[in-house]
């Protein structure tokens, strides 16, 4: 089945396009819009849709999708947990937070819990170095983390239906 945007998302697409000097420059925000509209992942159908709408090759759009780690090529869990691995987070314990998340969720990095609630990921930098260690859950930052705070966040995610 071909990918299509809802009327509301089409309006947002037009708003995005109006902000850029050419369609190619809008590729990343259009991909984010389409990813959100497609259960948070970029299928081959989404790539074809974006390529057609922006007048780009599918190879170009696929290259953008595979270059940036915030685009999902497989359907993720309901929530995505990103643990930052950059130097400031690493020096303040992100590795132990990551290992704790793996143990609590029962998955390794890149995996999704069997109930489909949480996908665990890592990021090289989430731009919150002054509040390390940190993780991003969906679009919310959790900073100055302790193992106890991680448990609280994960408990909330796992009980969320």
Give the three-state DSSP class for 150.
Answer: helix
- The answer to whether residue 90 is domain-embedded is yes
Same domain for 83 and 59: no
Same domain for 102 and 34: no
Q: What is the pLDDT of residue 70?
A: 83
Same domain for 46 and 101: no
CB 85 within 8 A of CB 124: yes
- The answer to whether residue 74 is domain-embedded is no
Structural domain count of the chain: 2
Q: Assign residue 63 the CATH number of its domain.
A: 1.10.10
Q: What is the pLDDT of residue 10?
A: 96
Same domain for 100 and 36: no
Q: Which domain holds residue 103?
A: 79-159
- The answer to whether residue 73 is domain-embedded is no
Per-residue model confidence as pLDDT tens for the chain (161 residues): 689 999 999 999 999 999 999 999 999 999 999 999 999 999 999 999 999 999 999 999 999 999 988 899 999 999 999 999 999 999 999 999 999 999 999 999 999 999 999 999 999 889 999 999 999 999 899 999 999 999 999 999 998 65
Kindly calculate the radius of gyration of the chain based on its CA atoms and give it in whole angstroms. Answer: 17
The residues with which 112 forms a beta bridge, in sequence order, are: 119
List, in sequence order, the alpha helices (H) in the chain. Answer: 7-18, 27-37, 44-54, 58-67, 87-91, 94-105, 147-159
Q: Assign residue 149 the CATH number of its domain.
A: 3.40.30.10
- The answer to whether residue 113 is domain-embedded is yes
| Token pair of 55 as six digits | 């007048």
Q: What is the pLDDT of residue 69?
A: 82
Q: What is the pLDDT of residue 161?
A: 56
Q: Which residue matches tokens 């090759």?
A: 57
Q: What is the pLDDT of residue 1?
A: 64
Same domain for 41 and 84: no
């Amino acid at each position: 089945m071909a990918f299509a945007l809802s009327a509301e998302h089409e309006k947002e697409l037009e708003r995005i396009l109006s902000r850029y000097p050419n369609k190619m420059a809008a590729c990343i925000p259009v991909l984010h819009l389409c990813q959100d509209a497609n259960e948070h992942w970029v299928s081959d159908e989404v790539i074809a849709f974006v390529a057609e709408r922006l007048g780009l090759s599918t190879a170009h759009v696929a290259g953008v999708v595979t270059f940036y780690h915030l685009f999902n090529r497989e359907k993720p869990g309901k929530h995505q947990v990103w643990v930052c691995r950059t130097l400031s987070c690493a020096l303040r314990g992100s590795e132990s937070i990551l290992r704790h998340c793996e143990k609590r969720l029962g998955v390794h990095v890149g995996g999704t819990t069997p109930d489909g609630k949480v996908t665990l990921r890592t990021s090289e930098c989430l731009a919150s170095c002054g509040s390390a260690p940190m993780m991003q859950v969906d679009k919310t930052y959790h900073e100055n983390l302790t193992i106890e705070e991680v448990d609280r966040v994960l408990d909330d995610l796992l009980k969320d239906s």
